[in-house]
Amino acid sequence: MPDPILTHTHGDIVLVTLNRAEARNAVNFEVMDALDALLPRLNADPSVRGVVLTGAGTQAFSAGMDVKIAAKFDAEAASRWMKRTKIFFSTLRNFDKPLVAAVNGVAAGLGYQIALLCDVRIGHEGARMGQPEINVGLASVIGAHLMCLSLGHSRTVELTLSGRLMDGAECQAVGLLHRLVEADQVIPQALDLAHALGQKPANAMRLTKQRFREVTQAAFDATFEAGARLQAEAYASGEPQSVMAAFIAARGKR
Distance CA 88, CA 93 (A): 9
Band the pLDDT of 249: cuts 50, 70, 90. Answer: confident
Band the pLDDT of 253: cuts 50, 70, 90. Answer: low
Spatial CB neighbours of 160, under 8 Å, sequence gap ≥ 6: 131, 134, 140, 143, 144, 147
Angle at Cα 124 formed by Cα 56 and Cα 165, nearest 5°? 85
Domain chopping of the chain, boundaries = 5-198
Q: Which CATH class is domain 5-198?
A: alpha beta
Provide the b/e sequence for 63-85 (b: ≥16 CB within 10 Å): bbbbbeebbebeeeebbebbeeb
Q: What is the pLDDT, as a whole number, of residue 248?
A: 82
Helix (H, G, I), strand (E, B) or coil at 161: helix
pTM for this predicted structure? 0.96
Band the pLDDT of 246: cuts 50, 70, 90. Answer: confident
Tell me the per-residue pLDDT of 220-230, one tens digit each, with 9 for 90 and over.
999 999 999 99
